[in-house]
């Protein structure tokens, strides 16, 4: 008897029109195109305007995914949104998306797992589908990171971009769908990637604003050293759970944080360049949005065929990391 699986039947993305290039950044801070490209692989990134918020792009991504899936908003049982840059602290941005779509029958909530948000979201959706609690789920991952970026910090302002990606996940019998997910965290390294101001520990005040505590801070070198090992281990774990050999992966679509991390993981697992999908040069680090944006691109470009094995993996604030194997 075929198992009920969580199958991705639609993808979509929503990104700002404005582009900020490395040449533009050279005018803002002491940096250069060569320095940024060599260390990160980033050439440009998308920037939301002053009056644009996360839910605007999440809604666009969602509509595109629903159209591909041929699913009406009112058919959705659940909307889940992975982000660290919600429209406002209360309520959840997923509720704004629900209203924008007219998804009147869907429960909606946000969750936070940093750059690993989309992987965590796949795990959540998979559990709902397998338990029989939902049949059609909209999963969105996305960020407006440039609004919590310190544009005076040359080490971080070159990294981040804005954008959202979405998938529609459907309960279906068969062998196609999410085969496995592997998620992990280690709070002992929480200060590696953090924004300390504005919560219950350090509430917003004139002092926290003056101290620039409402911007993302990173320990880049420490994070890099941990990321490669953790991503590799998560990939191996999810492949083992899915009973798929590394050479069986057609597309490795990782979180787009740094090309050096991506290439290091691919080398350790023996994947050639034609199995890697990299778009960090055009988007920068969009955190929870990077994997679903990349997935939408490869799908719409016709690069993914039925029964192809896709591997997603990410590493982010928390620290969190994880991986997922999908049969398309």
Catalytic one among 115, 157, 164, 235?
115
User: Average pLDDT, stretch 59-85?
Assistant: 98
CB 8 within 8 A of CB 177: yes
Mean of per-residue pLDDT scores for the chain: 95
Statement to judge: residues 250 and 155 lie in one domain: no
Same domain (yes/no): 97, 165: yes
pLDDT score recorded for residue 24: 94
134 touches 128 (CB < 8 A): yes
Q: Which residue, 152, 175, 198, sits at the end of a domain?
A: 175
Q: What is the pLDDT of residues 31-65, one digit of tens each?
A: 999 999 998 999 999 999 999 999 999 999 999 99
Cα distance from N-terminal residue to C-terminal residue, the chain: 20
Annotated catalytic residue 285: yes
- Are residues 225 and 322 both part of a single domain? yes
Same domain? 18 vs 149? yes
Same domain for 141 and 15?
yes
How far, rounded to the nearest angstrom, does the alpha carbon of residue 140 sit from its chain's CA centroid?
Answer: 8
Q: Is 206 a catalytic residue?
A: no
**Are residues 170 and 196 both part of a single domain?**
no
Q: CATH number, domain at 9?
A: 3.40.47.10
Please identify, among 158, 175, 192, the residue that sits at the C-terminal boundary of a domain: 175
Q: What is the mean pLDDT of residues 175-196?
A: 95
The whole domain housing 256 covers 179-327
Task: Band the pLDDT of 206: cuts 50, 70, 90.
Answer: very high
Contacts (Cβ under 8 Å, ≥6 apart) of 214: 148, 195, 197, 198, 204, 208
Q: Tally the domains of the chain.
A: 2
Measured in whole angstroms, how far is the alpha carbon of residue 179 from the centre of its chain? 19
Predicted local distance difference test score (pLDDT) of residue 41: 94
Tell me, what's the pLDDT at 205?
Answer: 95
Of 22, 95, 164, 255, which is the active-site residue?
Answer: 255
256 and 112 in one domain? Answer: no
Query: Nearest CA to 53 among 20, 10, 100, 104?
Result: 100
Beta strand 44-46 pairing with 19-21: antiparallel
Q: Within 10 A of 133 (CB to CB), how many other CB atoms are there? A: 13
Of 164, 165, 146, the closest CA to residue 19 belongs to 146
pLDDT (average), residues 305-322: 96
Is residue 243 domain-shared with residue 157, that is, in the same domain? Answer: no
Q: Is residue 255 scored above 80 in pLDDT?
A: yes
Name the pLDDT band for 1 (thresholds 50, 70, 90).
low
Model's pTM, two decimal places? 0.96
Is 184 tagged catalytic? no
pLDDT in tens, 90-129: 999 999 999 999 999 999 999 999 999 999 999 999 999 9
Q: Are residues 195 and 256 in the same domain?
A: yes
Domain termination residue (choose one: 136, 159, 175)? 175
Quick one: 221 exposed, middle or buried, by C-beta within 10 A (0-12, 13-18, 19+)? exposed
In this structure, the answer to whether residues 128 and 228 fall within a common structural domain is no
**Are residues 54 and 185 both part of a single domain?**
no
Q: Are residues 183 and 162 in the same domain?
A: no
């Amino acid at each position: 008897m075929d198992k009920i699986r969580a199958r991705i039947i639609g993808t979509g993305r929503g990104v700002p029109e404005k582009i900020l290039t490395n040449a533009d950044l050279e005018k803002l801070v002491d940096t250069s195109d060569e320095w940024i490209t060599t260390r990160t692989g980033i050439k440009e990134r998308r920037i939301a305007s002053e009056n644009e918020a996360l839910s605007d792009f999440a809604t666009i991504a969602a509509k595109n995914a629903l159209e591909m899936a041929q699913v009406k908003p009112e058919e959705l049982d659940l909307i889940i949104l992975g982000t660290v840059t919600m429209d406002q602290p209360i309520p959840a941005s997923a509720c704004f998306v629900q209203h924008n779509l007219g998804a009147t029958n869907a429960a909606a909530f946000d969750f936070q797992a940093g750059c690993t948000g989309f992987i965590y979201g796949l795990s959540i959706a998979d559990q709902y589908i397998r338990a029989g609690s939902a049949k059609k789920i909209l999963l969105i991952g996305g960020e407006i990171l440039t609004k919590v970026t310190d544009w005076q910090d040359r080490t971080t302002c070159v990294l981040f971009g804005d954008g959202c990606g979405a998938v529609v996940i459907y309960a279906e019998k068969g062998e196609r769908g999410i085969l496995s997910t592997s998620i992990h965290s280690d709070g002992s390294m929480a200060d590696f990637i953090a924004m300390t101001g504005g919560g219950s520990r350090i509430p917003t005040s004139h002092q926290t604003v003056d101290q620039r505590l409402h911007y993302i801070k990173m320990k880049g070198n420490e994070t890099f050293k941990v990321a490669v090992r953790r991503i590799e281990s998560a990939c191996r774990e999810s492949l083992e759970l899915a009973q798929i050999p590394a050479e069986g992966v057609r597309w490795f679509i990782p979180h787009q944080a740094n090309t050096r991390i991506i290439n290091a993981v691919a080398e350790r697992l023996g994947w050639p360049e034609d199995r890697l999908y990299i778009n960090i040069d055009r988007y920068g680090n969009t955190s929870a949005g990077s994997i679903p944006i990349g997935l939408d691109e490869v799908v719409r470009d016709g690069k993914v065929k039925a029964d192809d094995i896709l591997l997603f993996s990410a590493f982010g604030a928390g620290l969190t990391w994880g991986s997922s194997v999908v049969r398309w």
